[in-house]
A and B are shown apart, each in its own frame.
Chain A
Amino acid sequence: MALQLRRKTHESIVYIDSDSAPRIMPSGEDFILEDLPVGTRVLYPNPPLNGLPNREAAIRYALNHPLGCDPLFAQLEPGMKVTIAVDDISLPLPPMAIPDIRQTMLEIVVDMLAGHGVDDVHIIIANSLHRKMTAWEMKRMAGQRIFDEFYPDRYYNHDAEWKEGLIKIGETRHKEPLVLNRRCAESDLLIYCNINFVPMDGGHKSVAVGLCDYESLRAHHEPQTIRDSDSYMDPAKSELANKCVRLGKIVDKELNVFHIETSINNRMYKGDMDFLLKNEDDFTAIDRVKFEAMRYTMSKLPRTARRKLLHSRPSQYEMTACFAGKTEPVHEKILEKAFQQYLIPVRGQCDILITGIPDISPYNVYSILNPLLVQVMGLGYHFNFYRNKPLLKKGGVMIIHHPCYDQFDHNHHPSYIEFFNRLLPESRDAFYLREKYEREFANNPSYVEMYRRGNAYHGAHPFFMWYWGENGRQHVGKVIAAGAENAHVPAILGWERADNLTEAVAMARNYMGNSAEITMLHQPMIGIADME
Chain B
Amino acid sequence: MTAAAFYDLEGTLVSTNLVHTLAFYGRNQPNLLRSVTKSAATLLSLPLFAVSDQYSRKVFNDLFFKRYKGETEDRMRFFAADLFEEVLKPAVYPGAFELIEKSRSLGLRQVAVTGALDVSVKPLMQYLGIDDYVANRLEFVKGVATGRLLPPVLASATKASWIRTFAEREEINLSESFAYSDSMSDLPMLSIVGHPAAVNPDLRLRQTALHHDWPILNLK
Q: Which residues of chain A have a CB within 8 Å of any CB of chain B? A: 408, 410-411, 414, 417-418, 421, 443-450, 452-454
Contact = CB atoms under 8 A, between A and B. Distances in A.
Interface in B98-119: 98-99, 102-103, 105-106, 108
B37 interface: no
Given A410-B210, A452-B98, A446 B215 contact: yes
Nearest to B106: A443
Interface in B34-60: none
Contacts of B209: 410
A320 to B, nearest CB: 41
Closest 7 pairs between A and B when the two form their complex, measured CB to CB: A446-B215, A445-B102, A446-B197, A417-B213, A414-B215, A445-B103, A449-B217
B192 interface: no
A399 B180 CA distance: 43
B106 A410 contact: no
A350 B105 CA distance: 51
B178 A445 contact: yes
Given A410-B216, A418-B213, A446 B98 contact: no
A447 B215 contact: yes
Contact of B102 (A408, A411, A443): A443
A445 B178 CA distance: 9
A408 B102 CA distance: 26
A454 B213 CA distance: 16
Interface string B191-220: 000010100000000000110010111110
A446 B178 contact: yes
A463 to B, nearest CB: 17
Interface residues of B, number: 21
Interface string B168-181: 00000000001010
Contacts of B218: 453-454
Contacts of A411: 216
A284 B36 CA distance: 81
A443 B195 CA distance: 13
Contacts of B215: 410, 414, 446-447, 450
B95 interface: yes
A410 B213 contact: yes
Contacts of B180: 446
Given A444-B195, A453-B219, A408 B106 contact: no
Contacts of B106: 443, 445
Given A444-B195, A445-B178, A446-B197, 14 more contacts: A410-B210, A414-B216, A443-B105, A445-B99, A445-B103, A446-B215, A449-B95, A449-B102, A449-B219, A450-B215, A452-B95, A452-B98, A453-B217, A454-B218
A408 B98 contact: no
A410 B5 CA distance: 22
A449 B210 contact: no
Q: Identify the interface centre among B98, B108, B216, B217: most chain A CB within 10 Å of its CB.
A: B217
Nearest to B216: A410
Nearest to A411: B216
Nearest to B180: A446
Nearest to A439: B106
A489 to B, nearest CB: 15
Interface in B60-103: 95, 98-99, 102-103
Contacts of A418: 213
Interface string B104-143: 0110100000000000000000000000000000000000
